[in-house]
Amino acid sequence: MLRIHCPVCGLRDETEFTYGEDATIRRPDMNETDPKIWHDYVFIRENPRGPHKEYWHHVVGCRQWIVVERDTLTHEMFGSVLAREAAV
Amino acid sequence: MSHYSALSILRNGLSGNKEWSRAWRDPAPKPSYDVVIVGGGGHGLATAYYLAKEHGIRNVAVLEKGWLGGGNTGRNTTIVRSTYMMPGNTQFYERSLQLWENLSQELNYNVMMSQRGYYYVFHSPGQGEALRRRANVMRSNGIDAEFFDRVEIMKRLPHLDYSATARFPIHGAFLQGRAGTARHDAVAWGFARGANQQGVDIIQQCEVVGYIWDKDKIIGVETTRGPIRANKVALAVAGHTSHLASKAGLRLPIETHVLQAFVTEPVKPLVDHVIVYGGAHFYISQSDKGGLVLGGDLDGFNSYAQRGGLPVVEHTLQSAIALMPSLSRLRLLRHWAGAMDMTMDGSPIIAKMPIEGLWLNGGWCYGGFKATPASGYCFAWTIAKGEPHPDNAKFTLDRFERGYQIDESGSGPYPKAH
Amino acid sequence: MTARRLATGGRINRSLSFTVQFDGRPYRAHPGDTLASALLANGQQIVGRSFKYHRPRGLVAAGVEETNALVHLREGDRHEPNAQATMVEVFDGLTSTSQNVWPSLQFDVGAINGLLSRFFGAGFYYKTFIGPFSGTKFWMFCEGFIRRAAGMGRATTFPDPDHYEKINAFCDVLIVGAGPAGIAAALAAGRRGDNVILVEQDRDLGGSLLSEPFGSTSDGWLTQALAELDDLPNVRVLTRTTAFGAYDCEVFGLVERVQDHVLAPDEGKPRQRYWVVRTKRAVLATGAIERPMVFAGNDVPGVMLISAVRSYLNRYAVLAGERIVVATNNDSAYTAAIELANSGAKVTICDLRREIPAHLGANAKNAGIDLRPGQAVLKVVGGKSVKAAYLVPVTPEGKAMGRRVRISCDLVAASGGWVPTLHLWSQRFGKPHYDKELDTFLPSVEKGAFTCVGSLVGSPSLRDSLLQGHKAGGGTGKEPALFGHADFWGRNLLPVAVITRADGSTPGKAFVDFQHDVKLADIDQAHLEGYVSVEHLKRYTTSGMAADQGKTSNLNALARMAELRGLTIPNVGTTTFRPPYTPVAIGAIVGHDHGLHLRPTRLSTIHDWHKENGAEMMDAGVWLRPWYYPVNGESLNEAYVREAAHVREHAGIVDVSTLGKIAVQGPDAAEFLNRVYVNGFKTLPVGRLRYGIMLREDGFVFDDGATARIGENEFFMSTTTANAAKVLAWAEHLLQTAWRDLKVHVTSVTDQWAAIAIAGPKSGRVLMDITGADLSREALPNNHFTLVTIDDVPCRLHRMSFSGELAYELYVPAKRGREIWEALIAIGVPYNLKPYGLEAMGALRIEKGHIAGSEIEGRTTMKDLGLEGFASSKKPFVGSVLRKRSLLEDPLRPCLVGLEIMGDAGARAGSLLYALNAPTKGHGEGWVSATTYSPALKKNIALALLSRGPQRFGETIQVVDFVGNQSWQAKVVSHHFFDPEGHRQNG
């Protein structure tokens, strides 16, 4: 079981969160009309073996989406920030 | 290479089992091959076997970074079925099941394909209707499927929870009688031995670390045992597909997730079939050795760790007792995990890649083990002929751009949901 | 073997005794005994039969590594298979039986397999049973016999009468193993004030010290240490508790066997307790397990680990034999050998080593032991018990050289070295490193938050172990009170544990894995056939894959393969350990989360009224909802037809509290909704509501529902029951990641509002009566919203329709739900207001052609469902680009239509569609999503998705339910079956 640091609530069990996705992908602008750009956003993932920035939702806690950096090979945690405060 | 039979067992037994020969050779890699297959799991080995047997392409190497069958081939819950309703999947998995039915004879290696039946128990009228649609698609495609109500299921599956305290009461079940289980290791070893007999070089402890390029065309691989050239490079490395594809500059609609599996202590026969619990994602069968083999949901986040966590352990075991209350006193012997290629629609990719010289077989999600023979068969065809076999024609990489998602569960572009 | 209980000594309570049963025979036991020690004390030699050859087997060990003594324990619904006799504490009334034997343990017909063993070599089943014919029939015929023969114990088919519980715990230091090192760590950490949990799988603390003679120096230290631990309030000691798994982020899984040592748990107590411990640091002091020697006949009852023989002697006062051959390659066997001699046994030591430390040799001789350096046991003679051993001089590689000597004996006690119990460490960190001098794999002393101490890291002496524990616990400064300098195993080892003839063969079967009957010859055969990597070896021979997970076999199998391949052990590799460390009862991990508690059940605040008024309920996700309200014993079909017809004629009331409700607030609320809905929301006036559709990012339909604008900056959104949580999470995701500039809050208010739909021509009058408000068609037209009060309770009222009738949705504070529902029922009497359930609601919506979950099934687009008209062309929305992908615009895609089923019977949802004269093959032209009998049309109707559907109105098609063996003909019509112009809902 992972233990995830929520910037609002502190260190909590994985079971309080749901996993989102790769947090480095950027949603295109609403006015974007190129299907290729939307395709890449919705379907394509780097899927790295190693450090990975990813979204988690503190769904039974403060309901904040957070960006967690975690190693996908070792599950080591490197830290987390609120998604709304993460650098774009 | 000796032919396996009761007679060979007898003869070797009498001579003290000292005359057995190697199941496959241990050759040093040659400088070049017609086809290099990366990945010595079931899929890669099956591909090599069918390339040699069906297409006469024997100058083939299978490169494995560890030991044969050491990835998901040797980690899964061994279920074989063809219960798919989306066009593309239906025919492909049925071809696979048909290949399974004669695979032991084909390979002269007992893969222990046991057609003990696959029951999917459902718990609401809506769930029953969705399953009925699936069963009807199977039947209309010539695949066996049956439907049973609660009364009949109580007779057929006696130890399930039919009590008033069942959280999700059992309404009925769907059955594919020809489905069942096989021995996972034997599949890898059988294909390895078969491919080897036809001249394929199987090279273990040989990790691919990069590609050899001629401008923008791939003409071989760089490995931990030196460069190996090839006219065609074919990846069959599910679980690590993104990793190897990224070395070729390819980005894929795949996330790698953890899927756990569980086995109990061995007991005398208790569960004759594969049973799936519709109240949660859970399945159970009993191996020939006697251990109950259990499986459940993904852990639900990107991971290559091949190590699962307690939340899914708890969920899976809860489902086990919800389905069969008498399992409570039975003991869990071991739980382990595999790294799964989860695609954005839950279906695989078997196709030529946009990079010249590169072919890909991956994205197997939950379906990899049961797909092994058809995957090898269709991938070999695709590599040999340069175009897909009709049964894998829909498993393209560009289907997401064209709007053809083969979404068996209707879960959408969320890998962890498939 | 002539084992017997000694008159004195041991750590058993001789003042009490009772009988325990094994295979129907009574055995006398004392508190403190295990089932194994009780059987041994009574001279019971055979405790089980092996898996494959049904060879008689005796005890090998005294602890968790026991591989032979697996028994059925207890009877009836508390029966359990595969209990390790060495881990079963005796209790009054204990019953046990041997397993996998027929007709009896003493005489087992299955032993005939042993005669055929040469044909049952490694992997034999891969090479045969294939059969002469195609297909799987022949194999499955053979498999039936194999399955019955395999499987060890028999499981119960009864539900478990006991209960289990789960505890979540947190600590600064978790210490696993309460031997000397673990206790020293706990003392040091406890004195510092750390919050400590100390875990011990045994009933008693002390670990290896419990195998010291009763009254030893160590007993004094132990008593004092335990008293101090007892006084430290910050140290929690868990005995009978196994740390079975080490997981990410320093989370450990433990199982405490609270009441397994009694016949049945005391009232109110759990049988076992599952602990999930989150710790900052972990100290592993899990000790080591002795490694057996491999020689011919090493599985004959009476060949044991010498550490076990010592435990039985000193802890249980059982002398396991009178004439004992001790076989060793290291120092650790000598203490035991001397104690055995002092207890009256005649002891011969054959030590592989030619040079033996002088003090050990002298001590042995003083005790009257016949010491034979440079010799080993080549073969043990005996069937059901040890009769003699052949000793032979050996090379340093363990190969016999010279003449063998037969020594009559009844016990062979062997030590092939030690294997650290590094399972937890390996579960977490993977591969350990090989230590050449100790000839075994070791964990790192420090890694991450883990510290390993004591025998686990090959500590050379007791004093070293205590110091390591002290330091790991955070102890500084002056050394703790130390005692004793007893040698541990970690020194002077000759790394050879396999004894063969000069040519590598053995004069008889020599076993590597006892439980799975894997012989040295099987390893050799695997090597011949190329199954040489450690995983292939394990899987091909099944060595190490039995219920003991190779605790005593892995290293010997590896050593043999390394020798055959001419490699060192680390070059052959090692397998990764997987949890659990020892098997764990499934019930323990599940705790109370089974039966009705498998998942929470969500109930509307009006639920009790439905039950009291005879509703049949239906599971809808985790909710329970009224399905129908049978009157006078009506069937489902009779009830829903009546209910639906009643709504269209009078008025009906239905509980829709399960709908998702989300408050969308803020200056950018309208902009937000404009983006997530396909419809325009920016210009929606206050007081109006709009049916909206959401798409997924990939352009498929996601959810639908009505959203009301209740203020300039506030909207009240409803979602389907199934998607309530998903819609909220996704809205939060968009607002917190991509659209951070939008000033909007979304809040779930599902639980704050009970929702009641009132539908039918008389519904308006019911509501006017109860609210006193003007709800006339002019005052509140369809798709409008207003605030009303009922009994001073402020409520929200939507005028909107799912049924196609004049209809309203009334949102009332959840706590007042039942009260207002009852008030409505009461005030509705003159209007004949009646409740209706999900089934009638379904019939009404199918008549109207409204979509629901069976049509929004994750693979349908707006175009497929005839909803294209709702999409705004003036603005982008979520999914607006990808919904236009080429194949989603394919004119052949199945689209929503209505079907009128011909004949008297209705079709079944899930049936497939075909053109009238087309062959019923392939995937068909579409499928039936929902069916009902329409009371309004007096017809069986259905919703379906049909290729080119809207162009085929009037066509007759086939509807086939293959698995139901039924088919129908149906006319394709518009899915708006009833009142397509909407006069009834709008008028």
- Phi first, then psi: give them for residue C523, nearest 5 degrees: -65, -45
Q: Are C279 and C171 in contact (CB under 8 A)?
A: yes
Which of C153, C162, C589 is the closest to B267 by Cβ? C153
What is the per-residue pLDDT for C109? 87
Q: What is the mean pLDDT of residues C596-619?
A: 97
Chain C hits for A57, Cβ within 8 Å: 729, 732-733
Is residue B346 packed enough to be buried (19+ CB in 10 Å), middle (13-18) or exposed (0-12)? buried
* H/E segment holding residue C797: strand C793-799
Residue C477 sits at φ, ψ, to 5 deg, of 65, -135
Q: Report strand pairing: B79-80 vs B146-149.
A: unpaired
Q: Which residue has the tokens 């394509």?
A: A44
Tell me: pLDDT of B1 over 80.
Answer: no
A52 at B interface, C-beta within 8 A: yes
Burial of A80 (0-12, 13-18, 19+ CB in 10 A): buried
pLDDT at site B6:
87
* Model pTM score: 0.97
Alpha-carbon distance B148 to C910, whole Å? 15
**CB of B297 less than 8 A from some CB of A:** no
- Edge-first strand order for the sheet with C323-328 is C303-305, C411-415, C323-328, C346-351, C370-373
Of C143, C154, C276, the CB nearest to B268: C154
- Give me the residue label for tokens 């990597």: C533
User: Using omega within 30 degrees of 0 as the cis cutoff, is the peptide bond preceding C580 cis?
Assistant: yes
Q: Exposed (0-12), middle (13-18) or buried (19+): which is C269, by Cβ within 10 Å?
A: middle
Which pLDDT tens digit goes with each residue over C203-237?
999 999 999 999 998 999 999 999 999 999 999 99
State the pLDDT at residue C113: 84
Please determine, for residue C638, whether its predicted confidence score (pLDDT) is greater than 90: yes
d(CA C173, CA C236): 11
Residue C491 has pLDDT above 80, yes or no: no
User: What's CA C654's distance to the chain center, in Å?
Assistant: 40
The two structure tokens encoding residue C293:
């020697």
A34 to chain B: closest CA residue: B401
The whole-number average pLDDT for the span B78-98 is 98
Both structure tokens of C352: 């592989």
What's the mean pLDDT when you consider all of chain A?
96
**CA distances from residue C47 to B266, C71, C94, C302 in whole angstroms, order as listed:** 18, 8, 16, 11
Checking if the pLDDT of C731 tops 80, the result is: yes
Cβ <8 Å between B251 and A14: no
Residue C500's beta-bridge partner residues? C399
Q: What is the pLDDT of residue C485?
A: 60
CB contact under 8 A, A55 and C882: no
Least confident of B57-61, C117-121, C563-567, C666-670: C117-121
Question: Going by C-beta distance under 8 Å and a sequence separation of 6 or more, which residues neighbour residue B418?
Answer: B342, B343, B345, B346, B365, B366, B407, B408, B409, B411
Residues of chain C found within 8 Å of residue A33, distances taken between Cβ atoms: 876, 881
- Residue C208 is predicted with a pLDDT of 94
A46 interfaces chain B, CB cutoff of 8 Å:
yes
The answer to whether the CB atoms of C698 and A43 lie below 8 A apart is yes
Distance of alpha carbon C543 from alpha carbon C560, whole angstroms: 12
pLDDT at C649 over 90: yes
**Does C429 reach chain A within 8 Å, measured CB to CB?**
no
- Show the DSSP H helices in B144-293 as ranges: 150-156, 184-197, 241-246
Measured between CB atoms, does A18 come within 8 Å of chain B?
Answer: yes
Indicate yes or no: CB of C675 within 8 angstroms of CB of A2: no
Task: Answer whether residue C927 shows pLDDT above 60.
Answer: yes
Residues of B in contact with A36 (CB under 8 A): 401
What CA–CA distances, in Å, run from C924 to B315, B392, B405, B406, C152? 38, 20, 19, 17, 49
How confident is the prediction for chain B on average, in pLDDT? 96
Mean pLDDT value of segment C145-156: 93
| Alpha-helix runs per DSSP H in C110-264 | 112-115, 124-127, 137-149, 180-192, 217-231
- Backbone φ and ψ of C307, nearest 5°: -65, -35
Contacts of C265 (CB under 8 A, 6+ apart): C162, C163, C258, C259, C271
- Distance (Å, rounded) from C-alpha C505 to C-alpha C520? 9
Any idea which residue has 């435990």 for tokens?
C311
Neighbours of chain C (3+ CB pairs under 8 A): A, B
Q: Is C7 on the interface with A (CB under 8 A)?
A: no
Q: Give the ranges where C776-906 is alpha helix by DSSP (H).
A: 817-827, 838-848
Identify the closest residue of chain A to C738 by CA–CA distance. Answer: A27
Q: How far apart are CA C834 and CA B284, in angstroms?
A: 45
Percent of chain B with pLDDT strictly greater than 70: 100
Q: Where do the H-state alpha helices sit in C298-414?
A: 306-314, 333-342, 358-366
Average pLDDT over every residue of C631-646: 97
For residue A8, give how far its alpha carbon lies from the nearest alpha carbon of chain B (Å).
22
At residue B16, the pLDDT reads 85
> Who among A1, A43, A48 is closest to B344 (CB)?
A43
Nearest to C401 by CA among C296, C495, C502, C295: C502
Looking at the predicted structure, is the pLDDT value of residue B368 above 70?
yes
> How many whole angstroms separate alpha carbon B312 and alpha carbon C441?
30
Using CB atoms, which residue from B255, B300, B416 is nearest to A47?
B255
Residue of A21, A43, A66 best to disrupt the B interface, most CBs of B under 10 A: A43
Q: What are phi and psi of C221, to 5 degrees?
A: -60, -45
Cβ separation A38–C675 shorter than 8 A = no
C-alpha to C-alpha distances, C653 to C752, C772, C836, nearest whole angstrom: 20, 19, 6
Over residues C241-251, mean pLDDT = 97
Shortest distance, CA A52 to any CA of chain C (angstroms): 16
List, for residues B204-250, the tens digit of each pLDDT value. Answer: 999 999 999 999 999 999 999 999 999 999 999 999 999 999 999 99
Task: Determine contact, residues C523/C512, Cβ cutoff 8 Å.
Answer: yes
Nearest beta carbon to residue B22 from set C153, C529, C888: C529
| Residue closest to C63 by CA, chosen among C337, C312, C414, C332 | C312
| Beta strands, E only, C580-677 | 584-585, 616-620, 623-628, 651-655, 660-665
pLDDT tens digits, one per residue of B97-138: 999 999 999 999 999 999 999 999 999 999 999 999 999 999
The single-letter code of the amino acid at C493 is L
CB-nearest to B13 from C119, C150, C536 is C119
Helix/strand/coil percentages in chain A, nearest 5? 15, 40, 45
Q: Tell me the pLDDT tens digit for each residue of C5-64.
A: 999 999 999 999 999 999 999 999 999 999 999 999 999 999 999 988 999 999 999 999
Does pLDDT of C687 surpass 80? Answer: yes
Note the pLDDT tens digit of each residue in C797-842. 999 999 999 999 999 999 999 999 999 999 999 999 999 999 999 9
B392: CB partners within 8 A, 6+ apart: B92, B350, B351, B378, B379, B381, B382
Which residue in C has a C-alpha nearest to residue B113's C-alpha?
C136
ipTM of the complex: 0.98
Mean pLDDT of chain C: 95
Spatial strand order of the sheet with C833-835 comes to C784-790, C793-799, C807-813, C753-759, C651-655, C833-835
Q: Which residue of A has its CA nearest to B250?
A: A46
Q: Hey, are the CB atoms on A42 and B416 less than 8 Å from each other?
A: no
* pLDDT per residue as tens digits for the range A39-49: 999 999 999 99
Closest by alpha carbon to B95, among B134, B60, B50?
B50
User: How far apart are the C-alpha atoms of B166 and B160, rounded to whole Å?
Assistant: 10
- Reported for C112-115, long-range contacts at CB under 8 A and 24+ positions apart, including other chains, are C112/C54, C113/C52, C113/C53, C113/C54, C114/C53, C114/C54, C114/C55
Q: Does C506 touch chain B (CB under 8 A)?
A: no
Nearest-neighbour CA in chain A from C749: distance (Å): 14
**Angle between the C333-342 and C358-366 helix axes, to the nearest 10 degrees?**
10
Element (H, E) at C377: strand C375-382
Check CB contact of C888 with chain B, cutoff 8 Å. yes
Q: Is C250 an 8 Å CB contact of chain A? A: yes
pLDDT value, residue C1: 54
Considering only residues 179 to 238 of chain C, which have any Cβ-Cβ distance to chain A shorter than 8 Å?
none
Express each pLDDT in C304-322 by its tens digit.
999 999 999 999 999 999 9
> Which helix (H) or strand (E) covers residue B7, if one does?
helix B6-14
